[in-house]
Every structure is written in C-alpha cells, then in structure tokens.
Amino acid sequence: MARKISFKQAVNEAIAQEMGRDETVIVMGEDNVGGMGGEGERDAWGGVLGVTKGLYGKFGDRVMDTPISESAFIGAAIGAAACGLRPVVELMFVDFMGVCFDQIFNQAAKFRYMFGGKAVTPVVIRTMIGAGFRAAAQHSQCLYSLFTHIPGLKCVIPSSPYDAKGLLIQSIRDNDPVIFFEHKLLYGLESEVPEESYAIPFGEASIVREGDDVTIVAIARMVHVAQQAAEELAKEGIHAEVIDPRTTSPLDEDTILESVAHTGRLVVVDESHPRCNVATDIAALVGQKAFGDLKAPVTAVSGPHVPVPFSDALEDLYIPSPAKVKAAAKEVVEYAK
Amino acid sequence: MTTELNKELLLRAYRMMRRIRDFEERVHVEFATGEIPGFVHLYAGEEASATGVILHLRKEDYVASTHRGHGHCIAKGMALRSMMAEIYGKKSGICGGKGGSMHVADLDLGMMGANGIVGGGGPLICGAALAAKIKRTDNVAICFFGDGGSNQGTILESLNLSSVLQLPAIFVAENNGYAESTASRWAVATGNIADRGAGFGMPAAIVDGHDFFAVYEAAGEAVQRARSGGGPSLIEVKVNRYFGHFEGDQQTYRGPDEVKKLRETKDCLLLFRGTVTKQNLLTDKELDQIDEEVKNEVEDAVAFAKQAPKPQASDLLTDVYVAYA
C-alpha cells in the first residue's frame, strides 16, 4: 500500500533509510542542519529548502554542517569516500560548481582510472538545478551536461518522487561518484512512494507514456512539460511516446533507439542552455546509430543561448513550454522531404 | 573624532543610512505581498558599514558586493527608482530586469555588482585594483564580503594575491554573525576574521559596525593607505542583520528577542542621532527633515517600479555578447 509523499520527502526518506542501514553513510553540506553555533534552534533549516530536515535529530553527528568552503568540503567528502565512508554531500546550487569542480572532475572522477583500478570513491553529490524560481542567472542552471561529459562520474536526474527515492538509494549504494540532480521546482510534487526501501538501477530509462507517432525524450522537470504536450497532441490524434532517461550517465541508449525504430521521429527536451547539452548529445547518438530509422530530422527543444533571465516575463520565455514541445513534435510528424 | 566631520558630511551620512534602511524595510513589506520575484537578501541593520566605508570613495573607485547588496549599491549612488524597478523585474531596472536583486550593478558608478556567488567579488576587486595600478590612477577597489564568504577560497586567495601584488584594495568583512543559518562563531575558525590579515601580510582592524564614526575612521585609514600606494587592508566590521538570510527565512536559529534587542540598543541610525544631537552637531529637526524626504523618495521608487513595464520577448536575446562574431 503506497502513500503519497513529496519529492523532497522522498529524498529525505532515501537518505534516512540508507543511514539506518549503513553506518558509513554520512551527510555533509551548508546548513544541512542549520543553527550551528547560534542561540536558537538546532536543525533550524535542514537544508536551504528543508530537504535534510530531521536527519540530525535521527543521526546526530553523522549529519554535519560546513562553512561556505565548497572546494574544501566537497573535496573532503570525496577524500572520505576514497577512505571508507559513504558521504552524501550537498552542493547547494549546481551553479556553485565553479568553486569546487576540480575536486569533482579531476579528482573523484579520475581516481579509479588513474590509479589503475584500486580506488573506490562512493560519494554522492546532491545538487539543486533548474529555472522557474526567478532566481536569475547564477541560481537557475542545469549544467548536468558538463558532468555527463566527464568519464568516471555518474549522473542521475529523477523527475518524480518515486524515482527520486529509488535512484538516491541506488546512488548511495553505488560505488562510483554519483552526481544527483534535484530540480528545485519538483520538490513539492507528490506521488505514490513505497514506504520500504527500493533501488532503481542506473542506465534504465522510464517510458512514462507510450505512443507510436513521435518519441519525446525529456529530462527532469521537462518530463512533465513533455507529458502536458503529449496530452495536447493526443487531442489532435498524434500519439507521443515520452521517455525519461533518468540517468544521463550511464545513458539507456537502447530504449531510446528502440522507440525511434518504431516512431521514426524524435524530439528531445532539455531545459539546459542549448549548446552541448544533453539534447544535442542524444540527437547525435540517434543520428549516428539510427539514421535509417529517422523519417525527420531530430529536433532539440531548449531555451536560447542566453543566461537565465531574472524577470518572470523573460524567464518564462526561456524555459521550454508545453506549447513549444507540441509545436516541435508536430513539425517532425508533418515533416516530408 | 566626530567633531572633525563637517556638517555637510554628517548630513550626507545620515541620509545615506536612512535611504538604505527605508529602502530595505519597504522591500521587506512589498516582498510579503508576493509581487517581488525570486530571492531577496536585505541589508537592514548594517547601514553604517556601507556608509562609513563608501563615503570615502569617488565615483571612479570600485566596489564589489555580495548577495546582500542593496546597501552598497545605494551608498555608491545607484538611483532608488532603477534599483527598485530591477528588484521588481522591470525593463527600466538598472539591469533591464535581467539581473534582479542578487545582481544589481552599475559599472558606470564603479559598482561591480551584488553577486550570487559567495566570494565572487574578491578576485574581481583584485582586478579593479590591478587596473588602477597599471593605469596609474589613484583609484581604490573595495571588496565587501560576509563571515560566510570569509571561508571561501576565492576570498583567501584574493587576500594573498592583493598583498603579493601590493594592490590598492580594501577587503571589508561584514561579520553579521550568521552565514545563512550557521553562526560565524562556529564557522570562522579563529573567531575574528581580522586575525587573517596578518597571515596575508596586510594591516587589519576590527570595528563596531553599529558606530558610523568608528567605521568611517577605520575605512579612512585603509583608503588613504591604498591610494598612496601602501597596499591592501582588511577591515572586519561587526554588524547585525535584522532580517533573515533571505526573505522568507524565519530565523529560528537566532535567540528569542535577539533582533528586537538589537533594534532597541544597537541601531546605527538611533546611535548616530544620539551622538550628533548630544554633541550639537545636528538637530533632531534636521534629521527628521531627512527622514521625511527619504520616506517620500522610497514611496516614489515603489510607485515607479510597480507601474513600470516588464521586459518583452525581444529583450530576451540582447546583450549576451558585445558582438557575436
């Protein structure tokens, strides 16, 4: 019997259950507890948006706050992982990766390979992504394509509470460095989530809607945008198959290729900046491996090549909308040479 | 010390602090209505810091701020109307509605911007100072950062770099006791950020940030040192913020009545008034006059912002590059 919880609660539950099961799992980050050193409440914040609230009460010193020193504490989590712990460390906004990326892409990602196979670095870096909060250019990016680009990292991007819990549990159990991307606008989304612990394997896409006329691959919050578009398309007799890759590294290529094999048409929706994003990566992959199946060019739906604007009037134009996805799908369906 | 400051300067100082205070208090009220988008971080309580430092500066001097940047911007001369409009996301905002509260900036006024990245201003100020040194102006560059920012690698590197290159830079640590919800007494290893100055080869001072005169004096020394080629300085200003880290933060990490007591006993505007009236430098009437003028100014700014139009679709793609090709 599944009850409904929010994406945020699902993340919290995944961490709590794994911490209960495995004493080497620790949590670190800025204000993951909150109130350290002050006169007020301890666990005052539980994370900037409350995702880690309550963990300190359950697990005490295994849940640690840090000063604002990402290079040092993200690196410390990575070092601790290489030395026997399983840290779940938070990079509060993915936009802050600039101050600590070396530890992630040159250290964590490369240890196993560079050291000839001996290193095991089971760190999970949780981070917030996404636009729509009016948080402006430095707090609204996705950037998962930059991490996907790096051999040695795994990239996990859930779109639902059910997926969030199962994928985070898998991430914590996984023995490689995992970057776990949480779209900030999905935190309040509720769905049925089993109370017991469960793990969803990496490299397995989810077909969230079946259809024969066009394949729409979408990531994070865009999965919901794509589903809305699919509803609209169905009214016009166009049946879209919506696929959520769930992990961009490893990527479930087979599910995407199989879908394109029967629809012949592909739209990829990626909220990231358009150049070198995951949409372009998937488009290239399909172009290379399934050229013969394609009845139309692959279309990527992303915002324009601009920083995320602050004003709601502009931000709403930046983010791919259901109408834009619908228009792209219709274009590929109606394409004829 | 107070008697060395002429009346005109004292009036300017009070007006500047009052403008910042009233602006922030009003944004707090307006934000609660839901009309202001995104994140806002208010400077109320810290006015004497921005004012005491920036009153020494010329237009050509540079300032880099933090996410809590409205105070520094107002002190550096940004118009209230265009700041308020920016916070509301309107096209007539100082950044065309594209930056918002966290990125208010005006390079024409030497304001290198509020910054959404903690510690982001440190290297930039080293750059502004380097430019001044190479161009042989006697301009100076000031980096404001917080107790949270004091632990960020970019700030520590900037302290070292400015010292090694002997740059005309001043680093002002506004220690308001909290980095988000985390107390500085826990997060800053030595307790005093100023203790780091010696480690990076520069003079450092600690000042009471509720006392405009103390800030003004310490900043004056640092600015003079930088302008005359004497290299960088670090000033730690102990202040307090009245509002949360961001609007919406319930501040449960603070003691009961903590803010109430601060407003009653450590308010920089009240303390300033007390000092100048007691020493017969200014009258209550003169200060009240400024209060009234500023009240109207802020009212005007809000009215302007509310009726101003939002940016349009054609604005989305402009100003990414100077020239794409």
One DSSP character per residue, A122-166 reads --EEEEEE-SSSS--TTS----HHHHHTSTT-EEE---SHHHHHH
According to the model, what pLDDT value does residue A82 have? 95
Report the C-alpha gap between A256 and A157 in whole angstroms.
Answer: 16
β-strand A154-156 against A178-183: which pairing, if any? parallel
Chain B residues whose CB is inside 8 A of the A48 CB are 180
Q: Say if A313 falls within a structural domain.
A: yes
User: Are residue A123 and residue A249 in the same domain, yes or no?
Assistant: no
B99: nearest CA in chain A?
Answer: A310
Please tell me if residue A189 touches chain B, with a CB cutoff of 8 Å.
no
DSSP A315-332: HHHHS--HHHHHHHHHHH
Residue A240 bridge partners (DSSP):
A214
Mean pLDDT of the B222-241 span = 98
d(CA A220, CA A144): 11
Write the pLDDT tens digit of every residue in A206-258.
Answer: 999 999 999 999 999 999 999 999 999 999 999 999 999 999 999 999 999 99
* Number of domains making up chain A: 2
- Active-site annotation holds for A305: no
From CA A15, how far away is CA A55, in angstroms rounded? 8
Stretch A14-37: mean pLDDT? 96
Give the minimum alpha-carbon distance from A155 to chain B in angstroms, rounded to a whole number. Answer: 24
Express each pLDDT in B258-299 by its tens digit: 999 999 999 999 999 999 999 999 999 999 999 999 999 999
Chain A CB contacts of B253 below 8 Å: 34-35, 38, 40-41, 44-45
- Percent composition of chain B: helix, strand, coil (DSSP 3-state, to 5): 50, 10, 40
- How confident is the model over A138-183, as pLDDT tens digits? 999 999 999 999 999 999 999 999 999 999 999 999 999 999 999 9
Question: What is the edge-to-edge ordering of all strands in the sheet holding A124-129?
Answer: A63-65, A25-29, A86-93, A124-129, A178-183, A154-156, A247-249
CB contact under 8 A, A134 and B312: no
Angle at A65 between CA A59 and CA A71, to 5 degrees: 130
A290: CATH:
3.40.50.920
**Residue to substitute from A41, A52, A311, interface B, most B β-carbons within 10 A:** A311
- Mean pLDDT to the nearest integer, A319-334: 98
Rounded CA separation B228/B205 (Å): 19
Rounded mean pLDDT of B65-90? 98
Nearest chain B CA: its distance from A138 CA (Å): 6
A49 touching chain B per CB within 8 A: no
**B191 neighbourhood in chain A, CB within 8 Å:** none
Which chain B positions have a beta carbon within 8 Å of A37's beta carbon? Answer: 182-187
Tell me if chain A has a CB within 8 Å of the CB of B156: no
Say whether B187 and A138 touch across the interface (CB within 8 A). Answer: no
The beta-carbon neighbor of A40 closest among B95, B148, B253 is B253
| Residues A247/A156, Cβ–Cβ less than 8 Å | yes
Q: What is the domain-level CATH number for residue A55?
A: 3.40.50.970
Examine residue A274 and state whether it is found in any structural domain, yes or no: yes
Poorest-pLDDT segment among A12-16, A48-52, A141-145, B214-218: A48-52
Task: Classify residue A198: in a domain, yes or no.
Answer: no
Q: Identify whether residues A187 and A212 lie together within a single domain.
A: no
Q: Do A40 and B154 touch (CB under 8 A)?
A: no
Domain end, chosen from A131, A158, A193, is at A193
pLDDT in tens, B157-204: 999 999 999 999 999 999 999 999 999 999 999 989 999 999 999 999
- In this predicted structure, what is the pLDDT of residue A42? 82
- The C-alpha angle A281, A286, A287, rounded to 5 degrees, equals 95
Chain A to chain B Cβ contacts (< 8 Å): 161
If 0-12 CB within 10 Å is exposed, 13-18 middle and 19+ buried, where does residue B102 land?
buried
Query: Best of A141, A184, A314 to disrupt the B interface by mutation (most B CBs within 10 Å)?
Result: A314
Give me the DSSP letters along B156-214. Answer: HHHHHHHHHTT-SEEEEEEE-SEETTEEHHHHSTTS-TTHHHHHTTS-EEEEETT-HHH
**Does A284 reach chain B within 8 Å, measured CB to CB?**
no
Same domain, A20 and A129: yes
- For domain B2-315, say whether CATH 3.40.50.970 is its number: yes
Structure tokens at B141: 């560059």
Domain ranges of chain B: 2-315
Both A176 and A146 in a single domain?
Answer: yes
Q: What tokens were used for B168?
A: 């005309």
Nearest to B185 among A37, A134, A137 (CB): A37
Domain housing A235: 206-334
In a domain, A201, yes or no: no
- Considering the domain architecture, whether residues A167 and A297 belong to the same structural domain is answered as no
- Residues B55-78, mean pLDDT to the nearest whole number: 98
Work out the number of other CB atoms within 10 angstroms of the CB of residue A113: 11
Which candidate in A91, A310, A324 is best for mutational testing of the B interface (most B CBs within 10 A)?
A310
Q: What does the pLDDT look like over A106-150, one tens digit per residue?
A: 999 999 999 999 999 999 999 999 999 999 999 999 999 999 999
Which residues does A55 contact at the CB level (< 8 Å), separation at least 6?
A12, A15, A16, A19, A27, A32, A33, A46, A63
Q: What is the pLDDT of residues A252-282, one digit of tens each?
A: 999 999 999 999 999 999 999 999 999 999 9
The pLDDT of residue A152 is 97
Instruction: Find out whether B75 and B114 touch, Cβ atoms under 8 Å.
Output: no
Q: At residue B60, does pLDDT exceed 80?
A: yes
Structure tokens that stand for A334 in this block: 């109606």
Whether residue B181 and residue A98 make contact (CB cut-off 8 A), yes or no, is no
- Residue A23 forms part of a structural domain: yes
In the structure, what pLDDT confidence band is assigned to residue A336 with cuts at 50, 70 and 90? confident
With the C-alpha atoms ordered A162, A163, A164, A167, is the resulting torsion angle positive or negative? Answer: positive
A85 & A25 share domain: yes
Which residue, A193, A219, A249, sits at the end of a domain? A193
Residues B153, A99: C-beta atoms closer than 8 Å: yes
Q: Does B264 touch chain A (CB under 8 A)?
A: no
What residues in B contact A302, CB-CB < 8 Å?
A: none
* A158 and A270 assigned to the same domain: no
| pLDDT given at position B191 | 84
Residues of A in contact with B154 (CB under 8 A): 99
List beta partners, residue A247.
A156
Task: Tell me, yes or no, whether A82 and A163 share the same domain.
Answer: yes
Which ranges in chain A belong to alpha helices (H)?
7-21, 55-59, 70-82, 101, 111-114, 144-148, 161-173, 222-235, 253-263, 278-289, 312-318, 322-334
The reported pLDDT for the residue numbered B1 is: 56
A254 within domain boundaries: yes
My answer on whether omega of the bond before A322 falls inside 30° of 0, hence cis, is: no
- ipTM, 2 decimals? 0.92
Q: Are residues A136 and A12 in the same domain?
A: yes
Is 70 exceeded by the pLDDT of residue B3?
no
Q: What's the pLDDT score for residue A85? A: 96
